[in-house]
Amino acid sequence: MVQAKIPVGILGATGMVGQQYISLLNDHPWFEVRYAAASPRSAGKKYEEAVAGRWQLAKTYAAHVGSIIVEDASNVSRAVEAFKKGGCSFVFSALEMGKDETRALEEEYAAAGIPVISNASAHRWTSDVPVLIAEINSDHTDIIPLQKKARGWDRGFIAVKPNCSIQSYMKPVHALALAGYLPQRIIVSTMQAVSGAGYPGVPSLDMIDNIIPYIGGEEEKTEKEPLKIFGSIDNGVFKNAEFPKISAHCNRVPVVDGHTACVSLEFAGKKPSSMDEIKAIWAAYKGLPQEADFPMAPKQPIIYRSEDNRPQPRKDRDTDKAMAVVVGRLRPCNVFDIRFTALSHNTVRGAAGGGILNAELLKHKGFLN
Amino acid sequence: MVQAKIPVGILGATGMVGQQYISLLNDHPWFEVRYAAASPRSAGKKYEEAVAGRWQLAKTYAAHVGSIIVEDASNVSRAVEAFKKGGCSFVFSALEMGKDETRALEEEYAAAGIPVISNASAHRWTSDVPVLIAEINSDHTDIIPLQKKARGWDRGFIAVKPNCSIQSYMKPVHALALAGYLPQRIIVSTMQAVSGAGYPGVPSLDMIDNIIPYIGGEEEKTEKEPLKIFGSIDNGVFKNAEFPKISAHCNRVPVVDGHTACVSLEFAGKKPSSMDEIKAIWAAYKGLPQEADFPMAPKQPIIYRSEDNRPQPRKDRDTDKAMAVVVGRLRPCNVFDIRFTALSHNTVRGAAGGGILNAELLKHKGFLN
Amino acid sequence: MVQAKIPVGILGATGMVGQQYISLLNDHPWFEVRYAAASPRSAGKKYEEAVAGRWQLAKTYAAHVGSIIVEDASNVSRAVEAFKKGGCSFVFSALEMGKDETRALEEEYAAAGIPVISNASAHRWTSDVPVLIAEINSDHTDIIPLQKKARGWDRGFIAVKPNCSIQSYMKPVHALALAGYLPQRIIVSTMQAVSGAGYPGVPSLDMIDNIIPYIGGEEEKTEKEPLKIFGSIDNGVFKNAEFPKISAHCNRVPVVDGHTACVSLEFAGKKPSSMDEIKAIWAAYKGLPQEADFPMAPKQPIIYRSEDNRPQPRKDRDTDKAMAVVVGRLRPCNVFDIRFTALSHNTVRGAAGGGILNAELLKHKGFLN
Amino acid sequence: MVQAKIPVGILGATGMVGQQYISLLNDHPWFEVRYAAASPRSAGKKYEEAVAGRWQLAKTYAAHVGSIIVEDASNVSRAVEAFKKGGCSFVFSALEMGKDETRALEEEYAAAGIPVISNASAHRWTSDVPVLIAEINSDHTDIIPLQKKARGWDRGFIAVKPNCSIQSYMKPVHALALAGYLPQRIIVSTMQAVSGAGYPGVPSLDMIDNIIPYIGGEEEKTEKEPLKIFGSIDNGVFKNAEFPKISAHCNRVPVVDGHTACVSLEFAGKKPSSMDEIKAIWAAYKGLPQEADFPMAPKQPIIYRSEDNRPQPRKDRDTDKAMAVVVGRLRPCNVFDIRFTALSHNTVRGAAGGGILNAELLKHKGFLN
């Protein structure tokens, strides 16, 4: 017998990440979009009307989603009603409000019994909220029972994903750490796609015959979030790792999708014996998503390309449902130990796809029943 | 009385850098293009015919240059004849042949009594050839008498300029070194313009919605050439400096002109007390080109922009005749001491303009009489 | 029982259109790539070696294709051998040689008993070779028996597809003609993607902050080929239609894939009563590929988008396997009768996908058994 | 004795066109910027503070402009005060408000005695306001005394310039009309630069690997404004010409500056005998700006480039101070009589530069004393 799909809601359903969620969930085997909420401007309209002229993706949305009546995201009671009728088991949050409002609203959903799996940055530094990259720190979901208990929430909770800029190089670094080669210092320079800024986002006058050597707040996120992800749970809250120390230069370049990172890495102690050993470690790297065969999981999280001139955003970003990290140019670093270039699709792996993978992890662990 | 201009020749006059030379020399107060040489394909044609449909610049060439009959660059005797008639005192080499051919041909010109001021990479590692950045190592011209003597050349000699990729950050680093803050290690990531690869150069299929994380040979040049420039003359040849150790990631991005570098820098010993001190050092930085007021010299070699999002290639590359380096985003580095972003116009400051400035330096020092 | 697939060969298999064929045939229900031929440079190598570092597409090739040993395309006897062993029933020609060589070589294949379905322009004006757009002139295959007879060919024949620049507006015009609204005059301006020029193709220096108002030979093809497609068979050869008279302005723009055409159209006699009538005609338009449900056929050949700002290349070119034409902006013309904008994917619908659809048509009609 | 410069004001001084005005007037021999007004947000700040981080041009503003205190543009009395003190003889209007507000505010300035030379579209269809292209209809200034009289204005008046999209092909058409070859019908397709939409303007997500086949309101302006410019004064108001009938397709393409137009043209009666005759007519074309040698006037208003692939925006837009129209690809039209491609710099010739040329015309005629 076919298992009924779990009904999910999307907060911020009409924005770019919301659209990406809806598109990626078109044929998902476990989840089905049944609830969509956005700003008051869209509330009351059919989804297809709310996104008319604003749909940004080449792939369209499922027909049944087009006729969903969009709710006001700030009206949590509507989601609770939907939940009671079996129409919204949990929500993906792709809210694009201010940080404080987002933080409060996500808590309101959780308190009302609706688990929130969020792309927003609001709760990344909340001490009992896990920042999940499913291959790396799937054990960080252990904090959820503690979070619920501390907050007095019965069914709801909050789990988030990190910033898109770190997706490309965190897994290669993690793979090496797992193999005993601990990262001590990293200097990274990113070339980030414009879709990361949403729509309308970056003006075209800034991206024709030009690059912008600055993205507000991005370097701080790139430097700090890995320390929480590599950290541990201590007495009900997260304790950051001390290493690696990261210094980031974040740049905006005229690319639609796909963030590229040039990484120089120094190990803390033991060093790999050769570049080939590192490539072998990356090729063998797997996490829970691969072991448990989650629908959204890339078969191989790290793909190494041996050509000199890869990875390239347009040619490599869609590798394995746009969920794999593509790495190339591994070579010794003149200053640190090694250097390489890594690429990740920022609105799939780095946003909605990563969120769905987190939801799959949470369902696998029994948090979304 | 008006001093007669020195007649100069351009080798490789029809290529992109050759065009840039000819355009920049349109109104030069000291030099006048009177001789143009290129491949046999162009030889015998008027310059205007040779570049018809191939001229790449918005600015055009002087009328008198259009009617120069292009010579075969490999026919050195033609340049000697022109020299004897007062039509070619020295040549700028913008040859685009193979390295070995270029090296041999440039030596042939020098041996025939025609000084060669070159943009080509062929002689950058020749032990008695100076690699000049006029603000930094103008004293390296001291090797020229030794070079002439060792080679048995009476009037001719060879002087070259370094690769365009290092132009943006060498002067900021030099300014700090002069102030006593010695660079020990640098990790640099570049985003380089397509004009650096000439025409046709980089295919558009590689530069629409894409970047290329690799430029053949560029990282090696970026890492090694500074050591010669910061080096010293020892027993008639150059001895490289040991520091800074540099590790480079060189990327090609969809920008017409202007190479951007993201630099993280560690000092060897003493460190500047503040970011403001560094900005003051940069603002005060001057070299011989400024002191002697060379025509092609930027008034201030390093311009610091305090806006968060500068320098930007399209907006900043043309600063002060496209000869100034524009720097921004100076801030402490999480891993090394400081980090910043620097920009230089690769086909002006990094190629023909830099070559002209070198010629001005050499004339100032009496080598081009 | 599953029908065995027909084994096909690709001539010019390593070029851009050849790659597109191989990618599109990955999962084709009727055809399977079993033979690959290219220039002598690639001959003797495994396909995966021959395209290493040159593969341009995001989608890769089937594993079994990677290990095919590439043949020399000019060696027709190898294809005949493959045919005899059941390994090459017909070939798709994506040859990139000169016109005369292509013409001769395609005839050699046909004479040797290997049907040639070609993308090359060499035979478009051969009087007994059909230029097929499967929805428009599927009856033009009637010339094939005459072609075979006249040439003395038993099994082989040649059929070609037209230039990519006309794909976008020919079906909308044909639909109206079928409905009785005959086109008399057309003024069309195209904005064409760089992939149309192959790789390396258009230099990036021409496509950053720029357009090129000229594509060699393209306007002539755009103006003449429709007349053959709308023509008829007369005494064993094609007789061109007299109308529509077309005047084309063909431009190259910085778009990877997708040719856009701005069309102003004057009818010969009867005119549609309203824009809505035209939209209804387009929505209802179907040809043999739709009626017979060919695998590569778009379900609906013409998709009309009602938003003001569509069609757009990046968002619309992939509609229905990149085989549908997407039309928008239908409105009365101030000078002629109507005007609209149409878009077609140039390397799929306009090249390899159109070739495959032609092969499906020819198989359906019994020419490829 | 040096004549004192006329002090001018800029309304909308901080926007893109306002910046262009200020940059172009840096060294103007007749006019000097002494007054700057913008939205209340900027009012009270120094100009350099008001544009910090928002200055879009490579060329910067004059030092004395940086320290002008920006006024609130809606406060007309401030301009009157400045006028009385000799600080604002007339204003250039680059207002970016709504049409009704702009219309009213420009009238308020004129009524207060401050002549308004406007780039805004608000008054283009006001029956007694001239729409000037200085080479074409300099005699339309004859309406100004009538306008002043009818409105009861003593010193103030309003004169405007047309939309940037028509600048490229109006002069070539006018030159032919002057020679007796009257235009009857034109079908034109434009490829327009993003700077035409201001800043932030067109999102980069719309301009990477994409074009937009629509610009709101642009086709209407392109079709109608030429009729007023070719019209005549009749009883104190303008009477439109009946011809040429124009049908326009306006597209946005990823180009920073420079609008390109592909034009097909049908003559009303007599036709030129050859393409060479047309080129000779264009080469000889001059208007009052050339005859009276206005500072901003291009020496030759129409430059014909004989290369197949010109004009190109990046290479040709800056021709003769970015004030010349560059034309190429003249050839017979298959459907009408002739076709050609024309290019004009939209923010210089098509905006601020055109406005300055109009001011020079008006000064020449004695309206700005």
What is the reported pLDDT for C2? Answer: 57
The rounded radius of gyration (Å) of the Cα atoms in chain D is 20
Residues C42 and C16 sit within 8 Å (Cβ to Cβ): no
Q: Which of D254, D315, D334 sits opposite C247 (nearest CB)?
A: D334
Helical residues (DSSP H) of chain D, grouped into ranges: 16-24, 47-50, 63-66, 76-84, 99-111, 143-151, 167-178, 218-229, 275-284, 288-291, 313-316, 319-322, 353-364
- Is the predicted pLDDT of residue D346 greater than 70, yes or no? yes
Helix (H, G, I), strand (E, B) or coil at D156: coil
Do residues C361 and C132 make contact, with C-beta atoms less than 8 angstroms apart? yes
Predicted structure pTM score: 0.96
> Given an 8 Å threshold on Cβ–Cβ distance, is A246 in contact with B334?
yes
CB neighbours of residue A36 within 10 Å? 30
Do residues D172 and D282 make contact, with C-beta atoms less than 8 angstroms apart? yes
Residue for token pair 């999102």: D203
Instruction: With beta carbons less than 8 A apart as the criterion, state whether B111 and B212 touch.
Output: no
Q: Mark which residues 40-69 of B lie under 8 Å from D by CB.
A: 52-53, 56-58
Average pLDDT, integer, range C3-29 = 94
Q: Please check whether residue D65 is in contact with residue D58, taking contact to mean a CB–CB distance below 8 angstroms.
A: no
The answer to whether A255 and A308 have CB atoms below 8 angstroms apart is no
Q: Is C336:C265 a contact under the CB 8 Å cutoff?
A: yes
Cβ distance C201 to B202 less than 8 Å, yes or no, reads: no
Mean pLDDT, rounded, for B14-32: 95
- Whether C213 and D341 lie within 8 Å, measured CB to CB: yes
Neighbours of B269 (CB within 10 A): 8
The span from the CA of D223 to the CA of D221, in Å, is 5
Element (H, E) at B315: helix B313-316
* Cis previous bond, D40, omega within 30: no
Q: C-alpha angle with apex C59: C55 to C61, nearest 5 degrees?
A: 65
Least confident of A225-229, B289-293, C56-60, D238-242: C56-60
Alpha-carbon gap, residue B222 to B226, rounded angstroms: 7
**Cβ contacts of D56 on chain A, cutoff 8 Å:** 205
Segments of chain B assigned E as strands: 6-11, 31-38, 71-72, 90-93, 116-118, 158-160, 183-192, 232-234, 237-239, 245-252, 259-267, 302-305, 325-332, 338-344
Q: D50-78: string of b/e by CB count within 10 Å (b at 16+)? A: bbeeebbbeebbbeebbebebbebbebeb
Residues of chain A with pLDDT under 50: 1
For helices B218-229 and B167-178, the axis angle rounded to 10 degrees is 30
| Test the C interface: residue of D207, D220, D247, D318 with most C CBs within 10 Å | D247
Residue B306's alpha-carbon distances to B326, B327, B329, D51, in angstroms, are 11, 9, 7, 14
Question: In this complex, do C208 and B56 lie within 8 Å of one another by their Cβ atoms?
Answer: no
- At C55, is the pLDDT very low, low, confident or very high (cuts 50, 70, 90)? confident
Residue of B nearest to A216 (CA): B308
Closest chain A C-alpha to D206 CA, distance in angstroms:
8
Q: In Å, what is the CA distance from C279 to each residue of C18, C301, C327, C343?
A: 35, 13, 10, 16
Q: Decide if pLDDT at D279 tops 60.
A: yes
* DSSP string computed for B331-348: EE-SSSSEEEEEEE-TTI
Report the C-alpha gap between C234 and C237 in whole angstroms.
5
Q: Do A204 and D255 count as a contact with CB atoms less than 8 A apart?
A: no
Taking only the tens place, the pLDDT of each residue in D107-126 is 999 999 999 999 999 999 99
Q: In what order do the strands lie in the sheet with B183-192?
A: B245-252, B183-192, B259-267, B338-344, B325-332, B302-305
What pLDDT band is residue B60 in, cutting at 50, 70 and 90?
A: confident
Residue C151 makes CB contacts below 8 A (sequence gap 6+) with C107, C110, C111, C128
Q: Does residue B1 have a pLDDT over 60?
A: no
- Does the beta carbon of D17 lie under 8 angstroms from any beta carbon of chain A? no
H helices within C156-250, ranges in order?
A: 167-178, 218-229
The rounded distance, in Å, linking the Cα atoms of D46 and D59 is: 19
Residue C121 has pLDDT above 90, yes or no: yes
Cβ of A315 within 8 Å of Cβ of C57? The answer is: yes
| CB spacing of D254 vs A200 below 8 angstroms | no
Torsion of CA C45, C51, C53, C58, to 10 degrees: -150
User: What are the structure tokens assigned to B45, written together?
Assistant: 């044609």
Angle at B239 between CA B234 and CA B245, to 5 degrees: 155
From the candidates D49, D315, D317, D345, which should be mutated to test the interface with B, based on the most B CB atoms within 10 A? Answer: D315
CA gap C110, C120 in Å, rounded: 15
Please indicate whether residue D52 or residue C295 has the higher confidence score (pLDDT): C295
For residue B208, pLDDT beyond 80: yes
Chains that touch C (3 or more CB pairs under 8 A): A, B, D
Supply the pLDDT for residue A2: 57
Phi, psi of B190 (to 5 degrees): -110, 150
Q: How many CB atoms are closer than 10 A to CB A53?
A: 10
Residue B249 structure tokens: 């990631």
Span C299-333, pLDDT tens digits:
999 999 999 999 999 999 999 999 999 999 999 99
- Alpha-carbon distance of B140 to B125, in angstroms, equals 14
Q: What does the alpha-carbon distance between residue B208 and residue A208 come to, in Å, rounded to a whole number?
A: 10
Phi, psi of C60, rounded to the nearest 5 degrees? -100, -175
| Cα A115 to Cα A92: distance, rounded to the nearest angstrom | 9
> Nearest Cβ partner of A199 from D201, D205, D255?
D205
Answer whether B359's CB lies under 8 Å from B368's CB: yes
Report yes or no: A330 and A307 within 8 Å, Cβ to Cβ: no
- What H or E segment, with its residue span, contains residue D249? strand D245-252
Chains that touch D (3 or more CB pairs under 8 A): A, B, C
Q: What is the pLDDT of residue C161?
A: 96
Distances (CA, A) of A293 to A76, A281, A300, D7: 33, 20, 11, 74
Helices of type H across chain C: 16-24, 47-50, 63-66, 76-84, 99-111, 143-151, 167-178, 218-229, 275-284, 288-291, 313-316, 319-322, 353-364
Active site residues per annotation of C:
164, 259
- Which whole-number Å values give the CA distances from D311 to A111, A341, C266, in the listed order? 64, 39, 29
What tens digit of pLDDT does each residue of B136-165 get?
999 999 999 999 999 999 999 999 999 998
> D157: which residues sit within 8 A by CB, 6+ positions away?
D110, D115, D116, D144, D147, D148, D367
In 3D space, the residue among B253, B182, B193 whose CA is nearest the CA of residue A262 turns out to be B253
Inter-chain CB proximity A313 and B206 less than 8 Å: no
Q: Is the pLDDT of residue D369 over 80?
A: no
Residues β-bridged to residue B368: none
Interval C231-281: pLDDT, tens: 999 999 999 999 999 999 999 999 999 999 999 999 999 999 999 999 999
Helix axes D76-84, D99-111, angle to 10 degrees: 30
Please, which residues bridge with residue B280 across strands?
Answer: none
Nearest chain B residue (CA) to C193:
B205
Which residues, in sequence order, are bridge partners of residue D190?
D250, D261
D251's CB contacts (< 8 A; 6+ apart) are C191, C260, C262, D189, D190, D191, D192, D211, D212, D213, D214, D215
List, by residue number, the catalytic residues of A: 164, 259
What is the per-residue pLDDT for D2?
A: 57
Residues 191-220 (A) with a CB less than 8 A from some CB of B: 191, 206, 208-214, 216
Averaged pLDDT of chain B: 96
Pick from B242, D262, D303: which is nearest to C250 by CA?
D262
Query: What's the 3-state SS for C128-150?
Result: CCCECCCCCCHHHHHHHHHHHHH
Q: What integer is the mean pLDDT of B24-45?
A: 96
Tell which residue, D9, D57, D59, has the closest CA to residue D34. D9
Residue with tokens 């420009």: D106
pLDDT of residue C1: 46
Contacts of C315 in chain D (CB under 8 A): 210
| CA-based nearest residue in chain D for residue B307 | D53
Q: String of b and e for A273-311 (b: at least 16 CB within 10 Å)?
A: eeeeebbebbeebebbbbeeebebbbebbbbbbeeebbb
Give me C74's structure tokens: 């000019």
Find chains touching chain B: ≥3 CB pairs under 8 Å.
A, C, D
**Cβ–Cβ below 8 Å for B307 and D57:** no
Provide ipTM, 2 decimals. Answer: 0.95
Per-residue pLDDT tens over the stretch D214-265:
999 999 999 999 999 999 999 999 999 999 999 999 999 999 999 999 999 9
Looking at CA atoms only, how far is residue A207 from chain D in angstroms? 6
pLDDT at position D22 is 96
CA torsion sign, C337 to C340 to C346 to C350?
negative
Q: Which residue of B has its CA nearest to A341?
A: B213
Phi–psi pair at A209, nearest 5 degrees: 55, 40
CB pairs under 8 A between A and D: 56
D335, two tokens: 């459907």
Order of all β-strands in the sheet with D325-332: D245-252, D183-192, D259-267, D338-344, D325-332, D302-304
